A and B are shown apart, each in its own frame.
Chain A
């Protein structure tokens, strides 16, 4: 029997199961494990579960050093923007050391952070920073959109021998879905077709998957069949599944909460232009955030971010001709 699980709970279950399985997995961050009543401290003790000061460079750098010496640290960063004050460790240390040493070391660590707030957190806590990360050789990026993927990707991230940035969207944290029983792993680099369709391919990540699925439901009522694909990991990126879908539908709408030039959408658009141009019956359409910081006030925030309506309108613009002809 699959378990019904909340997104946030699924992440905690994944970490717990992996810590039970492997004594080298450690878990630390700010404002966690503050007392002996903490469930992780109770289960795994204060050596493996620790509270840290507000010191992201040290937190991530310590994870890199500990990973090289055989631990598998998970660093709880809470908000992806907090990673920015320690970006050297994320971009220029963790993914580089194996390569520069000629393969002599490995750095198995998970940098876990929430991202993408759309509940009025304004310019500095509402961002999608995966764009720059997915272009770093040696660094993997996981971006789950459901509780089941959240659990399976976290378990794979912890077992991966490379540094992994694991980003979970705030707006999905309370969403529930069934999670398969047993030791459930979601492999990296395998996109998931969240909804099958024939007229248009929509590729989206995280919260945008939810919005795209809602848009697809509405479109179905109007006779447009949209296929919704979630890459689940942006590095490695499963371009094959996307191209196969475009081969079938001939149309591609990319939905991404980041501003266009920092989005995963623009990278996918490039891959499809290079590898799948001959399958396209219409220009690729990107639904991304507008080129502003995220504003505080709700009407402005909604104006800037992608929405179900914007996705529907983009889909109609690429399938419009055919629908009219039908």
Chain B
């Protein structure tokens, strides 16, 4: 595929817009815990900080390629075209939710837009992605499957078993290891042998004799180029690759795990809350992927500051409408719970 320097002005503006949409959506999820306590139940995990990585990856997609993320799954369907209203309504436990209130934040799905499901159990979705790739291989659909998971998942048996099988079977899948530096509340250097040794996590690929690349996940164009190469390889029938996309999760792992009536809103990031390392968090904020990409696009003349502001305003208006829609959407009827147990 062409490299990122050949992306059109429209495509670059589309990428910036999608990054802003993910950020604003996640901000509204976060604010909901404060503004509308109780509307979101259970556990929600945000993608702020991952915008460049998500959009850089998905910008390489062809129409029928599939996206199989982990439970931190709000960002991908926004880019794939799932109406943000249906996503927020799902997170707000409403009937108009994309899963009709059966799944919630961790279990979004929109198969009609190439997002089959997400698993809430760490690492298991990696195997599902390889299975979708096996189906693509047997049916000769030409699809590539994008498997997204965190650094924590890469210590699961499912990761090792699946990457080995995907390599042996030369499955058309791209494994994107999103290294956001924290496995839930634990810093990656405390639980990953590569990280502890100061090595990139992408070197896990060596164990499966497949390409392994580490890329700056705060730069959507660098992500686009690294993932594009892996996608080309997968589509050519040469098998999987492992991309370590490095960025910083801007919010804590999830909203606080409590029981009612204790408020369950988001607390401070683990770097501060657990490790007392405010400097680390401040540095990450300075390296915010959205601000960097905005400056880059203004710098190279793709758009002017006023154009960027217009995009940001329209995204804010979209998500304001989304919150209003989701709040107004009815709750499911209790007995709806009996649906969809059996196919």
Complex contact B169–A50 (CB within 8 A): yes
B98, B109, B127, B139: residue with the most chain A Cβ atoms closer than 10 Å: B127
* CB-based nearest A residue for B138: A47
Docked Cα-Cα span, A191 to B75, in Å, equals 48
* CB-based nearest A residue for B108: A101
Query: Is B339 in the interface zone, CB < 8 Å from A?
Result: yes
Complex contact A101–B127 (CB within 8 A): no
A119-141 vs B, CB cutoff 8 Å, 1 = contact: the mask equals: 00000000000000000011000
| Interface segment out of the listed B45-53, B115-123, B261-269, B284-292 | B115-123
Contacts of A107 in B (CB 8 A): 343
Complex contact A62–B343 (CB within 8 A): no
Task: Output the least CB separation between A85 and chain B (Å).
Answer: 8
Contacts of B340 in A (CB 8 A): 98-99, 101-103
A62-100 vs B, CB cutoff 8 Å, 1 = contact: the mask equals: 111111111101000000000000001100110001111
Docked Cα-Cα span, A59 to B134, in Å, equals 11
Q: A64-B131, A66-B135, A92-B121 are in contact. Are A104 and B341 (CB under 8 A)?
A: no
Docked Cα-Cα span, A63 to B128, in Å, equals 7
Contacts of A65 in B (CB 8 A): 68, 116, 127-135
Query: Is B32 in the interface zone, CB < 8 Å from A?
Result: no
Docked Cα-Cα span, A162 to B343, in Å, equals 6
Query: Is B168 in the interface zone, CB < 8 Å from A?
Result: yes
Q: A57-B157, A61-B162, A63-B131 are in contact. Are A101 and B342 (CB under 8 A)?
A: no
Complex contact A52–B117 (CB within 8 A): no
Question: B109 is contacted by which of A56, A60, A101, A138 (Cβ under 8 Å)?
Answer: A101
Task: Output the least CB separation between A47 and chain B (Å).
Answer: 5
Complex contact B101–A66 (CB within 8 A): no
Question: A58 is contacted by which of B68, B121, B161 (Cβ under 8 Å)?
Answer: B161
Complex contact A61–B169 (CB within 8 A): no
Contacts of B116 in A (CB 8 A): 65, 68-69, 105
Q: A61-B131, A102-B97 are in contact. Are A70 and B111 (CB under 8 A)?
A: no
Docked Cα-Cα span, A222 to B131, in Å, equals 57
Complex contact A53–B107 (CB within 8 A): no
* CB-based nearest A residue for B164: A53
Q: A61-B162, A93-B124 are in contact. Are A71 and B135 (CB under 8 A)?
A: yes
Q: Which residues of A contact B (CB under 8 A)?
A: 26, 47-48, 50, 52-53, 55-71, 73, 88-89, 92-93, 97-108, 137-138, 161-162
